[in-house]
Amino acid sequence: MNAMKRIAPICIMAALFVACDQENNNGNNDIRAREVVVETLDTEFRSFTEVVRVTGTVEAMEDAIISAEVSGRVHTIADRGTQVRQGQELVSLDDRMVRSSLEMARANYELAEDALQRQEPLLRDSIISTLQYNQIRTQRDQARSQLEQAEKQLSDSRITAPFDGRIEDRMVSAGELVNPGIPVLRLVNLDRIRINAGVPERYINDIREGTPVTVRLASYGGGELQGKVRYAGSLIIPETRTFPIEIVMDNSEMLLKPEMVVNLLVTRRVLDDVLIVPRSALVRDEDGMQLFVVNKEGDFNKAEARRVVTGAASGALIVIEEGLNSGDIVIVTGQTNVSDGDLVRIQNRRDYQQYQ
């Protein structure tokens, strides 16, 4: 009986301890249940490149519509897709009439030259006058001019490539009759290309010749190419309120084609040692912009609202000029669900590479 009396207080105390422990655990579980799940980014001083995003149109540096310079029937013409070198024949015209005219012009010239040479002794002996001699010399000069013209016509009946390139279009076919000025071929060289774009006028003092440019080819399944501004205009185009820029690039891999529309990231300025965060991390209210950072308090993480001043922005990132310190843990996902002082649970820590 006495043993039972001694055991009873011990059991009561044990039951009370278990009950208290369960109450504490339930309290912690309730706190955990009230935590907001978030993703964060550890901030640090970084270099930040502010870019101006514009679109540009590609064109070939050498792109020519080749026309006939003489009349004639097309004898041969190169096929589309043919790669040619400078000076290589592209089109030949039927030149039988031209050759006949050339032979006649050459005979007339030789006759006129012989007549002039025969008159020289007569002029020295004063048998003929200087006026008569000059008339014969003029006839010789006219005959020479006609010969040169006939030689030029024969040369023009053979159309050659003015530069290395690829035939992209044929406007005539073999057997067709062409006249001077009629287009026959389009020859394009894509080894070097230019990209033309218009930049908003507010950046006219920031973009100059030599400014770095990134060309993005995502729309065409490509990556990025690096180039520089070769020309930056000084005049504003009134219709678009932009000024023109031109980027010239090597295109040895033939990734860029004429009339392509590409995205350009034109560097405006580079800022060193600044704090940057994703734009999506910002929360706007009636007083401006704020961020939420995570502070460690014992075993728990608490959200703290920070009023911030923003600066330059580019893409997904923005510079924070005031209100943030290096090393602060910024909430980048779930920030719209938290308030100042809320408990948070960090599910994932992101890095800057995910925002490039």
Residue 103: which domain range?
A: 95-156
* Domain membership flag for residue 9: no
Domain CATH code at residue 255: 2.40.30.170
* Domain membership flag for residue 127: yes
What does the pLDDT read at residue 116? 83
Say whether both 236 and 302 belong to one domain.
Answer: no
Say whether both 278 and 346 belong to one domain.
Answer: yes
What does the pLDDT read at residue 32? 52
CA distance 119 to 111: 13
Continuous segment of H or E residues that includes residue 103: helix 96-124
Which stretches does DSSP call E strand in 147-182? Answer: 158-160, 165-170, 177-178
Domain CATH code at residue 328: 2.40.420.20
* Domain membership flag for residue 123: yes
Say whether both 280 and 259 belong to one domain.
Answer: no
The set of residues, in sequence order, having a beta carbon less than 8 Å from that of 232 and lying 6+ positions away, is 199, 207, 208, 209, 211, 243, 244, 245
Question: Cα 191 from chain centroid?
Answer: 15
Domain CATH code at residue 110: 1.10.287.470
Of 270, 302, 334, the residue that ends a domain is 270
Q: What are phi and psi of 164, to 5 degrees?
A: -65, 145
Domain total of the chain: 3
Say whether both 198 and 259 belong to one domain.
Answer: yes
* Domain membership flag for residue 105: yes
Q: What are phi and psi of 14, to 5 degrees?
A: -65, -40
Q: Is 284 helix (H, G, I), strand (E, B) or coil?
A: strand
What does the pLDDT read at residue 214? 93
* Domain membership flag for residue 163: no
Say whether both 123 and 142 belong to one domain.
Answer: yes
* Domain membership flag for residue 68: no
Task: Count other C-beta atoms under 10 Å from residue 323's C-beta.
Answer: 17
| pLDDT digits (tens), the chain, 356 positions | 444 445 444 444 444 444 445 545 444 555 554 789 999 999 999 999 899 999 999 999 999 999 988 888 898 999 999 999 999 999 988 877 777 787 888 888 888 888 888 888 887 878 878 888 888 889 888 888 888 887 887 777 889 999 999 999 999 999 888 898 999 999 999 999 999 999 999 999 999 999 999 999 877 777 889 999 999 999 999 999 999 999 999 998 888 999 999 999 999 999 999 999 999 999 998 888 999 999 988 889 999 999 999 998 888 899 999 999 999 999 999 988 999 999 999 999 998 888 86
* Domain membership flag for residue 209: yes
Of 270, 288, 306, the residue that ends a domain is 270
Say whether both 349 and 279 belong to one domain.
Answer: yes
Say whether both 201 and 142 belong to one domain.
Answer: no
Are the C-beta atoms of 260 and 222 separated by less than 8 Å? no
* Domain membership flag for residue 182: no
